[in-house]
Amino acid sequence: MRAEPAGEGNAAAVPLPKVAIVGRPNVGKSTLFNRLVRRRVAIVHPQPGVTRDRLEAAVTWRGRSFVLVDTGGLLDAVPREGMEGVVWQQASAAVQEASLLLLVVDVRDGAMALDRQLANWLRRSGKPSLLVVNKVDAPAHEAGIHEFAALGLGEGVPVSAASGRGVGELLDRILDLLGSRMPAQAPAPSPAGPPPVRIAIVGRPNVGKSSLVNAIVGQQRVAVDERPGTTRDAVDIDFEWQGRRISLVDTAGIRKRARPGARDVEQLAVARAFRAMSRSDVAIVLIDATEGVTFQDARLAGRAAELGLAVVLAVNKWDRIGRPDQSVERYVPEVRHAAGRLDWAPVHFISALEQWGVRELLRSALAAADRRARPLDPEIVRSCVDEAVRLRPPASPGRAAVRITGVRQVASRPPTLVLSVQGADRLDDAYLRYLERQLRSRIDLTGTPVRWAVRPVAKRRPALPASGHS
């Protein structure tokens, strides 16, 4: 399955040039990336090797725009094995796609042998390159930039990514070097239309989230490794599929609790994952078929529903359990019940590695997002609630009757309904669940949660008879 490139078929769309940031670990690449895009996208941490995927974000300066790409710290200028090889593959792909390359070095370390190797690698690419000398936090540090002339990339631009010093001059140099590669003016805003559907891929470590992202977009877009914890940043990937704009978010694996002695970088990654969920429309909760549904899977699905996201359950690695055409109907209730009794969530059995079931999963996620966003027919909602009350009135033991006097939808994303109730304090959650079951039997709300709110209504008192006057 290969995604259609964003903007395909739109002759007016002008692709933005890409500028890739490369360098050794811990020279401040992610800090510079965050500074240039003006928000905290990449995780910044003193531990080397935190960034592994390539992150992208648009930058606009003096009316011109380009896409900035952050990459992981490189330990060599040639392919390596293991996790270092995964990082190198992502950085190499960024270099191939970029129009301009930024080699970031640390003025405090001086020109190191690895800096020279990376400079030679960038020159061999044949693409324009710019040397960025980082951590020049004070004028006294500027004398050290001359040492980097030996790298052969010309005069370096001194900056302090941490404080912002020299960043304006760096942006000016980037625009000059991009030159004709940039559109004559910033691309015109897209015609008014629906925003992209944000789909977060969430799950425990090593359930196949990054493999699923790569299967959806049709390329090795994010790092995949058998060791858990490969993904740390929440990686946003924008693309178009069957006429729909989609923003796909690969998140870090979320454990029930941090591992003993877990580094705070892991905690930062999990925090980013939860923030990515809160900004999304749909959560695809990925479950490992070889391990079954765990308490943490149920917790993640429940958290997504609490946030108001549409939820789709995807049982991955099904190829290790049975054949693609194996009947799975008998497993669906078990998965739904184990995953927090989300009987309204669709369940898909897929193999991200073998790329089967992926297209149907994406189609299901988009449909769930549409149901989450649409307004409900008020007549159907009212008649459904009236009929449910007629069949089973709210319990009113020993006191005045609990009466539902009205219902209306007050919001979408997700559908939110307000009941007007006399005796609202005695309307229990079980009755609200009953009303929701009745509503779902009349309206297709597959994949989306429904929120209920209760508005107390005072019981009307009978009018007093008019007093007579003699």
Q: Which residues, other chains included, contact 97 with Cβ-Cβ below 8 Å and sequence gap of 6+? A: 18, 20, 69
Residue 162: alpha-carbon gap to chain centroid: 26
Residue 182 CB neighbours (<10 A) = 18
Contact 265, 45 (CB under 8 A): yes
Confirm whether residue 428 is marked as ligand binding.
no
Q: Is 165 labeled as ligand-binding?
A: no
Q: 241 is written with which tokens? A: 């599929």
The answer to whether 256 is annotated as binding is no
Nearest one of 107, 83, 103 to 95, comparing CA atoms:
103
- 363 has binding-site annotation: no
Here the tokens at position 214 are 């790569």
Does the annotation flag 218 for ligand binding? no
29 annotated binding-site participant:
yes
Amino acid at 78: V
21 assigned binding-site residue: no
Any binding-site annotation on 10? no
Residue 15, annotated as binding a ligand? no
342 known ligand binder = no
Query: 92 a known binding residue?
Result: no
If one counts every other C-beta atom within 10 angstroms of the C-beta of residue 175, the result is 16
Q: Is 181 annotated as a binding residue?
A: no
Question: Binding residue per annotation — 137?
Answer: yes
Count of other CB atoms within 10 angstroms of residue 443: 17
C-beta of residue 351 within 8 angstroms of C-beta of residue 319: yes
User: Is position 65 annotated in a ligand binding site?
Assistant: no
Report whether 316 belongs to an annotated binding site. yes
* Cα–Cα distance, 361 to 312 (Å, whole number): 8
Is 468 annotated in a binding site? The answer is no
340 annotated as ligand-binding:
no
Is the backbone peptide bond immediately before 414 cis, with ω within 30 degrees of 0?
yes
Residue 302 to residue 311: CA distance in whole angstroms: 9
Whether residue 333 is annotated as binding a ligand: the answer is no
Q: CA-to-CA distance for 158 and 139, rounded, in angstroms?
A: 10
134 has binding-site annotation: yes
Does 27 show up as a binding residue in the annotation? yes
State yes or no: 30 annotated in a binding site: yes
**351 bridge partner residues:** 356
The answer to whether 25 is annotated as binding is yes
Q: Which two tokens stand for residue 266?
A: 């892991």
Task: Return the closest-CA partner of residue 215 out of 74, 45, 358, 111.
Answer: 358
Q: Is residue 209 a known part of a binding site?
A: yes
Query: Does the annotation list 120 as a binding residue?
Result: no
- 26 assigned to a ligand binding site: yes
Determine the distance from the C-alpha atom of residue 147 to the mean position of all C-alpha atoms in its chain, rounded to a whole number. 41
Residue 172 is assigned to a ligand binding site: no
**Token digits for 434?**
């009953």
* Residue 23 is labelled as binding a ligand: yes
Confirm or deny that 74 is annotated as ligand binding: yes
Please give the annotated binding residues for GTP, written as ranges.
23-30, 70-74, 134-137, 203-210, 250-254, 316-319
Please give the annotated binding residues, written as ranges.
23-30, 70-74, 134-137, 203-210, 250-254, 316-319
